[in-house]
Chains A and B, each alone.
Chain A
């Protein structure tokens, strides 16, 4: 494929991101990062933490590039990085697979004349509000009205407006702007994320402004079907006092004097209410841009009508074209954790297709043999970086260098313009070799970004990478004390002296190799577990599926169709066959897990198959234990065969049960056991499932009366189209309140269901022949399993993942992964996505089989001093220390280097001073403190 590389006009290899160029740049354009709330200069970096942290020139805003005037940035750049002559480059790449993750564009509400976003200063989009809340935003997190006015207005008109600026006391959010709407725009789908982000923005706004701020969210259905979302929503109501108003506001009128906004809406009782707000936030949806659509056309992949990539439920990240995969919002509207799951799933799908050519193009860096420095007198080299003028402009670097040379054990002190540049690194290697240095100190920027770079330099000079110390004389010194050069120079000397003292005590540290057993155990033979196993097997790893029942398939065996209408059993049996046929997958049915020993790379599990115990050694574990439907007697379930749970209706459809032909009036009750104090979560799948089954009943018999009694319809993403279709087919939706649930009475000829109609505000009784209850999905809550792997469960019994956003398919315990409804209820496509994602995450560990090492900066026990008190064993959050069970030092503590994260909690807690934290040892920290006590 061919890629067009646009010119940056700034040489990345030279730019040091000092920012001198922007100070004088006269060109201006809208700052997209800040949702265009302010402007930025033509030479810019998107935001302070941008990667790569290299400037770029917008050629449309640059005076040099548009009119051949100016050229200031080239004059002021200390690194000579500006190059106006750069041109577009065509790059041709040979590739095995392609993953498309182009993302979305926030909906532009300018075309909605009723909200007058383009005209009214205090009507903003949610994206703009996000920037207003941000500490790095245009107002530094201070929410004010007239947000688009510059902080210090220069124009007369702006100055007048700025006088009206105030801290808002009332803010309203309008939901579904550009979503679930085919009248004012063509976006029939639900954007999936807006309800939650509006709640979040309201909570944060209140946190910033205090109790005085009144926040109201105007919505149609509150859609909070994700993990921990429902509690977040309830807390917003109960704890933060945010008002939720179920109403669509027709229009907004601006007070021309004050800029306040008057609105009028009908409340739930049909009463007209008039209110005034200081600010209105439009919760804009996610949209696929025309650019992305055109781009999809180039790739020749099928899109849905709304422009999202077409994928199937059983291959949820695979496009219509071979070898092209999709992830993120382009693959249906979704939030961050789902995008993260998609990302790993797409990597897994793309990787599986290329399994046989894995490791053919990656390169290894040859290692330089390490010089043994043990016992040698320290010979310290100190390198002081000028960082152009960033440090040298404030700190007297020659003075600091001179000073450094006088410190104990310092053999060489050198000043360098840019220590991180390639030539400086090469020179450093040369000096280390020439002068026989064995400890290195670099005084420059932050070790958080640059320590690894310098450590690599040490390695290439044959030094152990832990013989290194870095001190920060830029971020913590020259940048923050620019008006006090003398004091900054003194401070730099102090910092260098402290670093030299610590470096003198540095020891070469060893990184222990972690042996990784290349086989995997998957607990649970449902969809997610099988998909994970299939992917790992296709990459060549032996995988064992542990299933307690006698067949594979799990809960999916009970399902009829997916939300997209695919036949579940057909796909499921194909998958089961594939798994059974694989020579890399061993299926253990009728098997339970009785115990687990070990840690990442080295687990030993005890399996019990029909009473026979065996041991399985594996390096990785995937927990895919799933969820099941709640068993309940609510609404007379179990007392009459006309009252059934959802899965029974699925069975009737699957078996073509003749009883279905008799049904004249069918009714569904939603949230049976979900979103209640006992189970304060949404089961996520039930709304779509019931809507889909309601449509199927209508299609079977268009004259049938079909009712759905619901609290909020949560057909997120393009599932919303099913909801629309159901209404078009005449399915009647009646909303009920949790405080006023429907009453079910079994009578001879029918089941009478009484519910208070939300439109009529009157109780109505429906005589149904078939009542389907959308029962909650409950986890298996296997505390024993959780204990085996030391992974946490939440209050409801779902597994708690490593990170709610960035680690949704793995646990904090290394080498253990999670997939499927045991993590949270999910439909077929999402369970498969997570199964693939877990496999992909596991593969990154398995692939490092020969290069997986512990960190060098970990704790170790001096057994001679250990009093075996057990404080370290009980205090460690990672279970790294344990009592030795055999040998000469039996009973004393030992730290497992694989589990140790190097936090030092045990070191600080050890009463005997028996534990050392390598790299941050007590004597090293003391040396820094003592060095500070001395004066330059």
Chain B
């Protein structure tokens, strides 16, 4: 790597995985851009009723 590194990360996709990547990075000292194609974050998990194997509410 010759060019100077930038202390920011772009995360593409605002589902459960993207959101948590973004949170971890932001909380450890990086500037994060979270990019989501829809009008809100949450992804497919927000559509689920319950989650296995604990039957917790997905929301």
Binding site for B on A (CB under 8 A): 1, 3, 6, 8, 33-35, 45-47, 49-54, 56, 93-104, 106, 127, 130-131, 133-137, 141, 196-197, 199-200, 203-204, 226-229, 231-232, 327-330, 335-336, 339-340, 342-344, 346-348, 350-351, 353-354, 356-362, 539, 804-806, 840-841, 843-844, 846-848
List the A residue with the shortest CB-CB distance to B26. Answer: A362
Contact A95 B13 (CB under 8 A): no
Closest B residue to A353 by beta carbon equals: B5
Choose from B12, B20, B35, B48 the contact partner of A130 (Cβ within 8 Å): B48
When the two chains form their complex, are residues A343 and B13 in contact, meaning their CB atoms are under 8 A apart? no
The B interface is mostly helix, strand or loop, or mixed, namely: mixed
Contact indicator B47/A354 (Cβ below 8 Å): no
Q: Which residues of A contact B7 (CB under 8 A)?
A: 96, 354, 357-362
- A100 near B13 with CB under 8 A, answer yes
Residue B2, interface by CB 8 Å: no
Task: For the complex, give the distance between the alpha carbons of A133 and B47 in Å.
Answer: 11
A841 to B20, alpha carbons, bound, how many Å? 10
Seed contacts A103-B43, A130-B47; 11 additional CB < 8 Å A-B pairs: A1-B10, A33-B47, A49-B59, A50-B39, A95-B9, A99-B9, A100-B13, A339-B15, A350-B25, A357-B7, A804-B56
B15 near A103 with CB under 8 A, answer yes
Which range contains the number of B residues in contact with the other chain? 35 or more
Residues of B within 8 A of A104 (CB): 44
Interface hub of B6, B26, B42, B59 (most chain A Cβ within 10 A)? B6
Indicate whether A354 sits within 8 Å of B9 (C-beta atoms), given known contacts A8-B39, A131-B47, A336-B16: yes
In Å, the complex CA distance between A197 and B58 comes to 12
Contact with A93, one of B8, B22, B26, B29 (Cβ below 8 angstroms): B8
Known: A35-B47, A50-B40, A131-B49. A101 touches B21 (CB 8 A): yes
Query: What's the nearest-Cβ distance from chain A to residue B39, in Å?
Result: 4
Contact residues in A for B5 (Cβ distance below 8 Å): 96, 353-354, 356-357
Q: How many A-B residue pairs have CB under 8 A?
A: 217
Q: Choose among B18, B33, B53 the residue that contacts A327 (Cβ–Cβ < 8 A).
A: B18
Partner of B8, one of A46, A95, A336, A343: A95
Contacts A46-B39, A95-B33, A100-B12; A358 near B28 (Cβ below 8 A) = yes
In the bound complex, do residue A232 and residue B53 qualify as a contact, i.e. CB atoms below 8 Å apart? yes
Task: Among A56, A199, A356, A805, find the residue whose CB has the most chain B CB atoms closer than 10 A.
Answer: A805
Tell me whether B24 and A343 are in contact (CB under 8 A).
Answer: yes
A95–B6 touching, CB < 8 Å: yes
A842 to B13, CA, bound (A): 24
**Known contacts A101-B21, A343-B24; A336 and B51 CB within 8 A of each other:** yes
Please tell me if the beta carbons of A101 and B49 are within 8 angstroms of each other in the complex. Answer: no
Is A127 within 8 A of B47, CB to CB?
A: yes
What chain A residues lie within 8 Å of B6 (beta carbons)? Answer: 94-96, 354, 357, 361
Give the top 5 A-B pairs by smallest Cβ distance, nearest first.
A328-B17, A101-B13, A343-B20, A101-B18, A347-B24
Cα of A671 to Cα of B15 in the assembled complex, Å: 35
Report how far A203 CA is from B50 CA in the complex, Å.
11
B35 touching A3 by the CB < 8 A rule?
yes
Which residues of the other chain, A, contact B43 by a CB distance below 8 angstroms? 103
Known A-B contacts A1-B10, A52-B40, A351-B25; A340 and B49 likewise in contact (beta carbons under 8 Å): no
Q: Is A804's CB under 8 angstroms from B9's CB?
A: no
Closest to A199 in B: B52
Residues of chain A within 8 A (CB-CB) of B11 are 98-99, 101
**What are 27 A-to-B residue pairs whose CB atoms are below 8 Å?**
A3-B33, A33-B47, A34-B47, A46-B38, A47-B42, A49-B42, A93-B33, A95-B6, A102-B13, A103-B17, A127-B47, A133-B49, A135-B49, A137-B49, A196-B53, A204-B55, A228-B53, A229-B53, A327-B17, A328-B16, A335-B52, A336-B45, A340-B20, A343-B19, A343-B24, A350-B30, A844-B24
